[in-house]
Amino acid sequence: MVSPSRQLRGGEEDERRRWAPGSTNSAEKALRVGKGGGGVKGRVSVTSRRATEVRVALPPNDSARSPHWTTTSSGPCAAGGGRAGGRLAAMAESLPPEMLSYILSFLPLSDQKEASLVNRAWYYAAQIALREIDVRYNIPVTAASLSSIKRLSRRHVSCVSLINVDGSSDANSVLQSISYYLGPHLQSLSLGGGSLTEASFVRLIISCPGLQVLDLSGCNSLFMSGKLLDQPETVQQVQKALANLRDLNLSGLRHLADSSFNRLSSCTPKLERLSLARCHITFDPHRSRSAQPGSSAILSFPNILHFLKERASHLVALDLSGTNLTPTALHALGQVVGLHLRELVLRGCRDISTEAVAVLCRQQRDLTSLDLSGCSELADGALLVVSRGLQSLQHLRLEKLQQLTDSGFSSLHWLRELRSLDLAECCRVSGRELAKALEFPRGPPPRLASLRLAYCSLLKDASVISLAQGLGSSLKVLDLSSCMSLTNSSLLAISANLPQLTVLRLAWCKEITDSGLLGLADPGEEKDRGKKLNKNFGDMGFFLPQLPPEPLAPLESPSQETPNKQLTPSLLLLRALQELDLTACSKLTDNSLAKVLKFPRLRQLSLSLILEFSDVGLVAVAQGCPSLEHLALSHCGRLSDGGWARAASFWRRLQHLNLSNCNQLTEQTLATIRQACQQLKVLDVSMSQGISMAAVEHFQAQLPQNLGTQRGLGTYLTIGTIFPGAREGPALPTCPSSVGDSLARIEGPEELLPGAAPWVS
């Protein structure tokens, strides 16, 4: 694990060095406790595991300008502290666990784990966060997990996902261990894609009396025989265990039938959310009449409709994506008496018509989330009826609607509560009417926090500028990937008007240049473009080719640029950025990337396919973005071992790293990464010709065999499957004949079980 280091800004860096000599890894968070303005201000920092210290800054009163720092040491660094050290240690121990938990809640999960190693009080405070339902432990079903499952029981883990469940003896042992040690505290259990037996499933469920979320997606072996829960005594036991179940995921089940669905659903009297996505549902009324009630062969929509009528008062979310839902069936669903859905997902239901959506909007006016992506029959009329009929809507997804045009957005301003809008791959949307609909004061004060316009090929700069000006106070997520017509003008508008932006995706926006990132507007840019050939060949002839623009002076501040450049807002204004995607923005170079990419909060960055990105930019980005967890640098052919030797030490939080097709890298980079990036979970070095299979195997051999023992709550690496035909030897061929000739991918699950040995997929 990596100590929770977080770069401090401005003068705080000097202050940190002054009161923490010799310490380079610290996590610092400002704290304000209390009600109103009369709370107590403080600041807490956690250092690395070897020299564990707790630093608390408490000003004597709110008007104090400079806090009085006190340092509390524990562990090896606490020795010889005398009475003062003991008094400070007692102060840290006496902080309420609620206060400590609040402080730690600002840190990423990995840093919270490291903070739990400070002392006993911090350990228990961290467990509150680690027990949250959204912290999922992915447990590989192997014999190596048995010892760690027992240790996890002491943390009262509430959310577990089992990987590679089958009918083997090892799997049965793991399931029994989970039932005994984790079952009493589990609230969420995922068995997605597993092949467990019916008996094992029943034993596992009975041991989880507090279960609220159950994921059985893709567990076809459970329903293949059609006899799941066919014994009355078994049904009673399972019904008692699932009495509080709120969320049931049955998506992707090929063998789910009426009888098995009825028996399982009868055990969940408080069910609120149901997913039947991609299940084989029969909508033919003639076939359903001929089938026996509670058929063991098919899953019919009339049977599902009967279930909806029985549970209408409880059900709030339904997912029927990919089920070929018919307009008649959608009409019947909306007419269920007492059914007031809040969330409805109909993704990929291609037969749905605009008329059916209109009926649904009249009958289900309480919807707050609606997904109609991939419903290819829908056009502008569908968006018009949604805008006028569902005025409480907060989340709307309309991806891949090829018939949707700008005309459909004329009534969008009626959606006063809209928080997120997804229009990706709507190829006929230019954004003009969208900008007008969201413009204040015609519509309500903008509240839109997420907007996806990826692959909208008609989107132009004018629309993006209008959207940025209208949504400046609210927008946090903006996806403009593959909008290839966008230029620096769009980027300048984004930088100037969207200060709250946390996610910005500009992949394949190839017209963005260094000037756009740096905020340098060239007044003569349009005039200097010169003549270009067009499709009608009207301007065919001979003319002098344009000279390439002069490169910007390396690593100078914008104020030192050439006088014909006019200073405008740069990307540096987006201080809240946590994710940035500049994939294939091929006109970018080190000149801008090294100056602009200075975001202490940035966690995800993609610079793949930027051919001019070199070691100079790599080191500068490493210094400016020390909190990166996901980094993609594939096809950056100018990166070398020397650059990584200088940059890797700044990225101790790195978890996912893509270095595919970086041909200058060798096994020396692997050694550097292994030493510096000890929190790494996924490493992709496929098609990197300088890295041989022998080097990859040596890298694997050097990985710790028991990270759970060496690093406490550790993360894990696994060696991915090598494609057939991969060659083994000291070096890979210069021009591989197939993808498998030079593929080596090292990867691991998102949050693997602490204490389990590395496993090979």
The predicted pLDDT at position 639 comes to 95
**746 against 381, higher pLDDT:** 381
Backbone angles phi, psi at 581, to 5 degrees: -120, 110
Residue, of 389 and 701, whose pLDDT is higher:
389
What tens digit of pLDDT does each residue of 134-166 get? Answer: 678 889 888 888 888 988 888 788 899 998 888
Q: What is the DSSP letter of 614?
A: B
CATH of the domain at 640: 3.80.10.10
* 59 domain-assigned: yes
What pLDDT shows up at residue 349?
Answer: 94
Cα–Cα distance list, 443 to 385, 410, 478 (Å): 17, 11, 20
Average pLDDT over residues 388-400: 95
Q: Output 557 or 581, whichever has higher pLDDT.
A: 581
Q: What is the pLDDT of residue 206?
A: 95
Residue at a domain's end among 130, 165, 200: 130
How many whole angstroms separate alpha carbon 61 and alpha carbon 189? 48
Residue-level pLDDT at 377: 93
Domain assignment present for 405:
no
Q: Tell me what pLDDT residue 130 has.
A: 65
Task: Report if residue 592 sits inside a domain.
Answer: yes
- Residue 36 covered by a domain: yes
pTM to 2 decimal places: 0.77
- pLDDT tens-place string over residues 541-567: 444 444 444 344 444 444 444 444 555
What is the rounded CA–CA span in Å between residue 67 and residue 71? Answer: 13
Domain-terminating residue out of 81, 97, 130: 130
Give the containing element (helix H, strand E) for 125: helix 120-130
Q: Quick one: pLDDT band at residue 66, thresholds 50, 70, 90?
A: very low
Separation of alpha carbons 620 and 369, rounded Å? 42
pLDDT at site 528: 42
Give the number of other CB atoms < 10 A from CB of residue 411.
Answer: 17
Show the domain range for 650. 573-747
1 found inside a domain = no
Q: Is the N-terminal amide bond of 441 cis, ω within 30° of 0?
A: yes
* 531 band by pLDDT with thresholds 50, 70 and 90: very low
Q: What is the 3-state secondary structure (H, E, C) of 218-229?
A: CCHHHHCCCCCC
Residue 734, pLDDT score? 29
Count of structural domains within the chain: 2
Q: Amino acid letter at 160?
A: V
Residues near 240 by Cβ (< 8 Å), separated by ≥ 6? 206, 209
Residue 524 is predicted with a pLDDT of 47
Distance CA 117, CA 130 (A): 13
Q: Is residue 39 part of a domain?
A: yes
Write down the mean pLDDT value for the chain. 77
Q: Which of 412, 449, 405, 411 is nearest to 431 (CA)?
A: 405
- Whether 614 has a pLDDT exceeding 80, the answer reads yes
pLDDT score, position 170 = 87
Q: Tell me which of 325-329, 611-615, 698-702 is least confident.
A: 698-702
702 part of a folded domain: yes
* Residue 252 placed within a domain: no
Helix pair 258-265, 301-310: axis angle to 10 deg: 10
What is the reported pLDDT for 484? 94
- Residue 375 confidence (pLDDT) above 70: yes
Average pLDDT over residues 219-248: 91
Using left for φ > 0, alpha for ψ between -120 and 50, and beta otherwise, residue 36 falls in: left
Phi-psi region at 10: left, alpha or beta (left = phi > 0; alpha = psi -120 to 50): left
Please, are residues 479 and 505 in contact by the beta-carbon 8 Å criterion?
yes
Would the pLDDT of 710 be above 60?
A: no
| Residue 47 in this model has a pLDDT that exceeds 90 | no
Q: Which of 80, 96, 130 is the last residue of a domain?
A: 130
**Cα–Cα distance between 250 and 489 in angstroms, integer?**
47
Q: In angstroms, what CA-CA distances link 244 with 262, 272, 274, 402?
A: 17, 10, 14, 42
- Residue 567 neighbours by CB distance under 10 Å: 12
Q: For the beta carbon of residue 722, count every other beta carbon within 10 angstroms.
A: 17
Average pLDDT (565-576) is 79
- Give the pLDDT confidence of 436-490 residue by residue, as tens digits: 888 755 555 578 999 999 999 999 999 999 999 988 888 999 999 999 999 999 9
Per mean pLDDT, which range of 90-104, 368-382, 394-408 is the poorest?
A: 90-104
Query: Which of 180, 181, 197, 238 lies closest to 214 in space, CA to CA?
Result: 238
pLDDT at 609: 96
Percent of the residues in the chain that have a pLDDT greater than 90, as a whole number: 52
Closest of 227, 246, 245, 229 to residue 237, by C-alpha: 229
